[in-house]
């Protein structure tokens, strides 16, 4: 079993400002603020740094979410901070920036760290030492090495969770989002059989715990008639992309093996955004361009940076 390694601070967000730039290629920023949520993802929870808000940038038609003090998304980040696992299996301490194998001792890969202040935080089993640390470092890697600027004990009280104000885009008659185990079986089958026209089902609270189904605009009336004919009850709302389109957008990344080059930690579309969410170690323009240069429609992607970009 593996878990993503580098994690950083999180929030549930609402848009509070949106300063724009005149540069056509520059990213525009929206400040996002909010509160933390607990997490048990891999047992690793990121540090909270309240001095930096999560900012929403619009870059090349994609949404980018980064915790940063910067007003513009940098072309190439030069200094980052993040919390994660440091591991030394005999070749020197390295920062685990990819999946961590949950063996005992754990196993991972990542750049070697030059300049750690201490290794006393690490535990050792069978010749492998590891521990959790918050590290400020120069970026990007040089010859698979990072120069540490500052490191300190990791604090854990938050998780990586950037909430987009557009996450639940549906008609108000659908009600508020709700937790549910899953849609009625027949409605679930209907959504699966219509992935070219729909994104899938979403639970909402209308006082009766109903379900909605996201549908491409040109198919809304047809889907409503088909649901009625099948005796199925669902609130129909418009989405920009179908499940098939989102799946194809993910396959572009998988097929071109961008995970290592762009340092992608995860991607998926089942998150209510009606976008493919790409979580990266550092979501700067250089890394994002690797994906968007292959993308047919940049608007289908939503990027999150797990590390805080300081410079």
pLDDT at 243: 95
pLDDT digits (tens, 9 = 90+) for 236-253: 888 999 999 999 999 988
pLDDT digits (tens, 9 = 90+) for 212-239: 888 999 999 999 999 999 998 888 888 9
Among the listed ranges 6-20, 138-152, 203-217, which one has the minimum average pLDDT value? 6-20
- The yes-or-no verdict on residue 203 having pLDDT over 60 is yes
pLDDT at 78: 96
d(CA 229, CA 5): 49
Among the listed ranges 31-35, 212-216, 257-261, which one has the minimum average pLDDT value? 31-35
pLDDT at 176: 67
pLDDT digits (tens, 9 = 90+) for 127-186: 999 999 999 999 999 999 999 999 888 864 334 445 555 555 556 567 666 665 566 788
pLDDT at 162: 55
Reduced 3-state DSSP string for the chain: CEEECCECCCECCEEEECCCCCCCCCCEEEEEECCCCCCCHHHCCCCCCCCCCEEEEEECCEEEEEECCCCCCCCCCCEEEEEEEEEECCCCCEECCCEEECCCCCECCCCEEECCCCCCCCEEECCEEEEEEEEEEECCCECCEEEEEEEEECCCCCCCCECCCCCCCCCHHHCEECCCCCCCHHHHHHHHHCCCCEEEEEEEECCCCEEEEEEEHHHHHHHHHHHHHCCCCCEEEEECCCHHHHHHHHHHHHHCCHHHHCCEEEEECCCCCCCEEEEECCCCHHHHHHHHCCCCCHHHEEEEECCEECC
Report the chain's mean pLDDT, rounded to a whole number: 78
**Structural domains in the chain?**
1-167+257-311 (no CATH), 172-239 (3.30.300)
- The yes-or-no verdict on residue 49 having pLDDT over 60 is no
Among the listed ranges 157-166, 179-188, 195-204, 294-303, which one has the minimum average pLDDT value? 157-166
Length of the chain: 311
The structure's pTM equals 0.79
């Amino acid at each position: 079993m593996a878990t993503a390694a580098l994690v950083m601070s999180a929030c549930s967000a609402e848009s509070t400002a949106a300063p724009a730039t005149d540069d056509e290629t520059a990213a525009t920023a929206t400040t996002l603020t909010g509160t933390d949520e607990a997490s048990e993802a891999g047992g690793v929870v990121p540090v909270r740094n309240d001095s930096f808000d999560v900012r929403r940038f619009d870059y090349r038609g994609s949404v980018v979410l980064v915790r940063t003090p910067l007003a513009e998304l940098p072309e190439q980040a030069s200094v980052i901070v993040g919390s994660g696992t440091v591991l030394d299996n005999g070749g020197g301490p390295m920062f685990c920036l990819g999946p961590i194998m949950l063996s005992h001792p754990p196993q991972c890969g990542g750049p070697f760290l030059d300049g750690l202040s201490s290794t006393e935080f690490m535990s050792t089993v069978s010749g492998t030492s590891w521990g959790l640390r918050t590290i400020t470092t120069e970026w990007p890697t040089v010859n698979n090495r990072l120069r540490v600027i500052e490191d300190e004990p990791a604090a854990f009280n938050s998780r990586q969770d950037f909430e987009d104000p557009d996450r639940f885009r549906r008609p108000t008659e659908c009600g508020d989002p709700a937790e549910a185990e899953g849609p009625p079986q027949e409605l679930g089958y209907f959504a699966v059989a219509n992935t070219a026209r729909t994104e899938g089902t979403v639970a909402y609270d209308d006082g009766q715990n109903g379900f909605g189904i996201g549908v491409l605009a040109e198919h809304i009336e047809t889907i409503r008639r088909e649901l009625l004919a099948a005796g199925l009850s669902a609130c129909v709302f418009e989405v920009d992309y179908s499940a098939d389109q989102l799946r194809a957008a993910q396959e572009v990344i998988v097929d071109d093996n961008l995970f290592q080059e762009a340092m992608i930690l995860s991607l998926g579309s089942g998150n209510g955004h009606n976008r493919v969410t790409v979580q990266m170690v550092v979501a700067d323009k250089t890394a994002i361009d690797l994906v968007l240069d292959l993308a047919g429609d940049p608007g289908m992607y939503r990027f999150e940076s797990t590390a805080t970009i300081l410079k």
